[in-house]
Amino acid sequence: MSDQLSERINNLVPSATLEMAAKARELRASGKDIIGLSLGEPDFNTPDYIKDAAIQAVKDGYNSYTPVDGYVELKDAIITKFKRDNGLNYERAQIVVSTGAKQALYNVAQACLNQGDEVILPCPYWVSYSDIVKLSDGVPIEVKTSIDNNFKMTPEQLEAAITPKTKMLWYSSPCNPSGSIYSKEELRGLADVLKKYPKIIVVSDEIYEHINYGVTTHASMAAFEDMYDRTVTINGVAKAFAMTGWRIGYIGAPSYIARACNKLQGQVTSGANCIAQRAVITALLESPSRVQYMVDEFKNRRKLILELLNNIDGFKCNEPEGAFYVYPDVTAFFGKTFNGKTINNASDFAMYLLEEANVATVTGDAFGNGNSIRISYAASEEHIREAISRISDSVE
Ligand code: PMP
Ligand code: GLU
């Protein structure tokens, strides 16, 4: 019956991260002892002070439609957060609250892209960027980066990728999946190229901002005066506050883009969930130091997983500066054969690890770089030790 469906949906690739997580869940339900290191989801609970704010909101009778672009009090909390953490000055008309950063990204793509518009994506990029761009009739332009340059795009590479059709540049910093962070100087280098192309809009996805291990200080593209008017800053609470299921993300943007996202959202979702919005006011107004304990724990796990992986021949890791993923190059395993099956690429290797080591990871192909796999270390130390030991045994 797929001929009854739209070409749009038939051409859409399912989210590889969510698909792998579903597969691991299915295998677990059938009795297999699978360790899931595929999904980028903190294994912590949402902090109590945020949960309490949600409970209070229920008791206070928050149950009606909210303003489409978010409660005024939440917008004000977001404005405070942008100023406090990023030195960015936004007004209410520049803020839109959405059902997760994912919807925020989708809104921006729908609002800005016309058929054939090109969007530059430094690889590896977050799994959904490419398909969100395609869903909006845009054309993803992948810029390959190298593990030897910590997976960062250079100004020269950016310049070479720009054509008369370039409409946007999208990146995440800290990066999912590589963990790389563009320093202020590196962002300035990219901004200097963009100076020559004043129409290109930048989407700076900063959802892992607080998950930073202290090697590189977080910087925002919109903090450069000459970039402010054409940068959309994306953020959300899923990662730093362990609130993935609450589904709140937001943008700070030029007001014409914010207005467009508001208009779209008014026809699609009517706005984000009212209780979650109230809870996020508290999450953002409290000091980020209240969630530092999670970052400290991720830092320990990062050290552990890097030590363990670096002991396995064939895994070549860069050192993630933020987020909670490692993105090892696994090309050393390509061409190897097991039980008559040859591992030809990262997808085969991730599948091999799932079947032979009972460990779920994600193929690097999903992030536009087929030399690596992504391993999430948002998992307990015990699970990390056991998973890497199984991986080590399975590749010996
Ligand atoms: N951007 C990046 C880089 C991500 O890793 C994710 C995954 N959660 C998102 C956006 C989407 O976040 P949310 O859960 O708020 O939709
Ligand atoms: N962003 C997380 C990840 O990359 C969650 C999954 C998703 O939103 O696709 O794994």
283-314 pLDDT, tens digit each: 999 999 999 999 999 999 999 999 999 999 99
**What is the distance of C-alpha 25 from the center of its chain?**
22
**Of residues 271, 336, 275, 328, the one with CA closest to residue 302:** 328
Give the pLDDT confidence score for residue 23 in this predicted structure: 87
Helix (H, G, I), strand (E, B) or coil at 158: helix
Helix (H, G, I), strand (E, B) or coil at 383: helix
Q: Is 205 in the pocket of ligand 1 (CB under 6 A)?
A: yes
The vertex-217 CA angle with 212 and 223, nearest 5°, equals: 120
Measure 247 CA to ligand 2 centroid, in angstroms. 12
Which helix H or strand E contains 235, and what residues bound it? strand 231-236
To test the ligand 1 pocket, which listed residue (239, 247, 277, 327) has its Cβ within 8 A of the most ligand atoms? 239
Give the pLDDT confidence score for residue 151 in this predicted structure: 96
Please enumerate in sequence order all residues whose Cβ is within 8 A of that of 31, keeping only pairs 6 or more positions apart, or say none.
Answer: none
Under 8 Å between Cβ of 279 and 246: yes
For each of the domains in the chain, give its residue range(s) and CATH number, in order of start: 2-45+291-395 (3.90.1150.10), 48-287 (3.40.640.10)
Which residue's CA lies nearest to atom 5 of ligand 1?
176
To test the ligand 1 pocket, which listed residue (102, 129, 180, 247) has its Cβ within 8 A of the most ligand atoms? 102
Give the pLDDT confidence score for residue 52 in this predicted structure: 98
Query: Residue 271 gets which letter from DSSP?
Result: S
Tokens at 71, concatenated = 């409660």
Measure 114 CA to ligand 1 centroid, in angstroms. 24
The verdict on pTM exceeding 0.85 is yes
Give the pLDDT confidence score for residue 384 in this predicted structure: 97
State how far the Cα of 19 lies from the Cα of 362, in Å rounded to an integer: 9
**Torsion angle defined by CA atoms of residues 338, 339, 344 and 346, in that order, rounded to the nearest 10 degrees:** -70
Tokens at 79, concatenated = 């404005």
**Of residues 364, 172, 186, 363, the one with CA closest to residue 249:** 172
Which helix H or strand E contains 81, and what residues bound it? helix 72-86
Give the pLDDT confidence score for residue 154 in this predicted structure: 97
Query: Residue 2 gets which letter from DSSP?
Result: G
| CA dist list (Å): 248 to 24, 162, 174, 283 | 26, 33, 19, 11
Give the pLDDT confidence score for residue 8 in this predicted structure: 92
Helix (H, G, I), strand (E, B) or coil at 322: strand
State how far the Cα of 124 lies from the Cα of 364, in Å rounded to an integer: 8
Backbone dihedral region for residue 66 (phi beyond 0: left; psi -120 to 50: alpha; all else: beta): beta
**Of residues 200, 186, 249, the one with CA closest to residue 229:** 200
Give the pLDDT confidence score for residue 339 in this predicted structure: 85
Under 8 Å between Cβ of 205 and 172: yes
Q: What is the pLDDT along the chain (396 residues), one digit of tens a residue?
A: 788 999 999 999 888 888 888 888 999 999 999 999 999 899 999 999 999 999 999 999 999 999 999 999 999 999 999 999 999 999 999 999 999 999 999 999 999 999 999 999 999 999 999 999 999 999 999 999 999 999 999 999 999 999 999 999 999 999 999 999 999 999 999 999 999 999 999 999 999 999 999 999 999 999 999 999 999 999 999 999 999 999 999 999 999 999 999 999 999 999 999 999 999 999 999 999 999 999 999 999 999 999 999 999 999 999 999 999 999 999 999 999 988 889 999 999 999 999 999 999 999 999 999 999 999 999 999 999 999 999 999 998
Ligand nearest to the CA of 251: 1
State how far the Cα of 230 lies from the Cα of 201, in Å rounded to an integer: 5
Cα-flanking dihedrals φ and ψ of residue 178, to 5°? -85, -20
Give the pLDDT confidence score for residue 21 in this predicted structure: 87
To test the ligand 1 pocket, which listed residue (39, 173, 176, 376) has its Cβ within 8 A of the most ligand atoms? 176
